[in-house]
Amino acid sequence: MLIWIKPYKIIITILLVFISFGCENNSKETDPEIEPEIILTDNIKVYDSEQIHDNLSLLVKSGSLTSFLVDKKGNTVYQWNFESKLGNDFELLPDGKSIGMFKRPNPLVSFGGYGGVVKIFDETGTETWSYDYVNGNDIGHHDVEMLPNGNVIFLVWEEIDAGDVQVAGVDFSSNIYTEKLIEVNPNTNQVEWEWRSWDHIVQEYDSNALNYDSVANNPQRININYNLKSDGDFMHANGLSYDADKDLLYISVNFFSEVWVVDHSTTTNEASSTSGGKYNKGGDLLYRFGNPSAYNNTSGTRTFYKNHFPNLLKTGVPGAGNILIYSNNGPDGLQQSTVYEMMIPEPFSLLPNVNNEPTKVWSFTDQNLHFGKISGADRSVNGNTLICEGDFGIWEVTPNGDIVWKYESEGVSWRAYGYELESTALKYLGL
């Protein structure tokens, strides 16, 4: 039997076939199981999509007029432009404001990392506060921190006159530059607290001079004749970290290859003495680690060979309460950097002629990881560690040591800080 199909029915059937075919192809194009193409910039040298942590990295460019946030694909998503060069540190704060150390014009003291001017910017990048610490030739340098009370604390090189140097038993005939911490109230521009390393020195060079005593028997004091240098810059601190829970300051001291811990709960008068404060030690060192030879201790093992960024890990990241340190070099002149995670003892133990060094709980190194200055490490909430290699850029490594992301940047980078996508800081920036 012949079945006659009316012409209009044939046309409708053909149209339905084409529509069905188009819908099928379209459904394939939008299939959620098919991942979109990932487009990376030329800066990305390693990208493991399964193991990287999707956050933003603030790359702080040493001595630069800019700093910027990059995503994991290598795109710059936000940039700060400055009128003066960074002295080194620059940080984005939780309220979208930012703070940094900037270079003072024509300083008389200009060791590497010098700054002199601390600035605060609002969430639009507009400068809202500037503070130039002027006290003779003293100059702020390297690092600055915003404290929970709203005050600002930073490192200062304090010039000590040659005459005072000789009286204090230092084997040196010229001016020297020791470390000082200054805390300033941005509302009043008044110095509200200070700590001077010069108040806590010891020496075995001259028995007729001040501060003469056994270095080994006084680990809470600083051997002022350790690692003398011709330009008078003996200590060269380069980093600060603040423990808000315990009111402590961690200071990375590059030329001593150590981290010093100081009680911030003291008054300024107590900070110049050996008593007072929460720990009743005044401004003496509560703890120190990384290089026991700096205080003639033969019982501990040296770990650091120049170090940067004493990053005390905060609540919310794996290892909270521990500290990350970037050791620039290895023993015997080895040009290879290592990032260490260390567990700080509680209570502190700083005794003569015993091993006072903390426990190492994690470390990472690689034959291609090395820069002899600046650099640092930060920890993400998923446990990955962000490493800034000063002359390269950023590495991201897993707890197992897998390298899952590498971002190469031009110039020299001071540090890299990780910021979670949902952080309030990024929301204030409109990201």
Q: CATH code at 402?
A: 2.120.10.30
The verdict on residue 422 lying in a domain is: yes
Domain range for residue 391? 52-428
Determine the 3-state secondary structure of 271 from DSSP: helix
Where residue 422 falls (left for φ over 0; alpha for ψ -120 to 50; beta otherwise) is alpha
Res 49: pLDDT: 95
Res 264: pLDDT: 98
Q: For residue 112, what are its two tokens?
A: 């590497």
Res 9: pLDDT: 42
Tell me if 129 sits within 8 A of 120, measured CB to CB. yes
Res 134: pLDDT: 87
Count of alpha carbons within 13 angstroms of residue 6, beta-carbon side: 3
The verdict on residue 297 lying in a domain is: yes
Cα separation, 74 vs 394, in Å, equals 11
The number of domains in the chain is 1
The verdict on residue 304 lying in a domain is: yes
The angle subtended at Cα 207 by Cα 201 and Cα 213, nearest 5°, is 40
The verdict on residue 33 lying in a domain is: no
The verdict on residue 340 lying in a domain is: yes
The angle subtended at Cα 157 by Cα 184 and Cα 342, nearest 5°, is 85
Give the pLDDT of the chain (431 residues) as one tens digit per residue: 323 334 444 444 444 444 444 444 444 445 556 667 889 999 999 999 999 999 999 999 999 999 999 999 999 999 999 999 999 999 999 999 999 999 999 999 999 999 999 999 999 999 999 999 989 999 999 999 999 999 999 999 999 999 999 999 999 999 999 999 999 999 999 999 999 999 999 999 999 999 999 999 999 999 999 999 999 999 999 999 999 999 999 999 999 999 999 999 999 999 999 999 999 999 999 999 999 999 999 999 999 999 999 999 999 999 999 999 999 999 998 999 999 999 999 999 999 999 999 999 999 999 999 999 999 999 999 999 999 999 999 999 999 999 999 999 999 999 999 999 999 999 999 99
List C-alpha distances in Å: 418 to 46, 111, 324, 358.
Answer: 18, 28, 14, 26
Would you give the DSSP letter of residue 58?
Answer: E
Q: Which residues are paired to 223 by β-bridges?
A: 202
Cα separation, 382 vs 396, in Å, equals 12
Res 241: pLDDT: 98
- 3-class secondary structure per residue, 135-173: ECCEEEEEEEEECCCCCEEEEEEEEECHHHHHHCCCCCC
The verdict on residue 253 lying in a domain is: yes
The verdict on residue 406 lying in a domain is: yes
Res 32: pLDDT: 56
The verdict on residue 402 lying in a domain is: yes
Res 15: pLDDT: 43
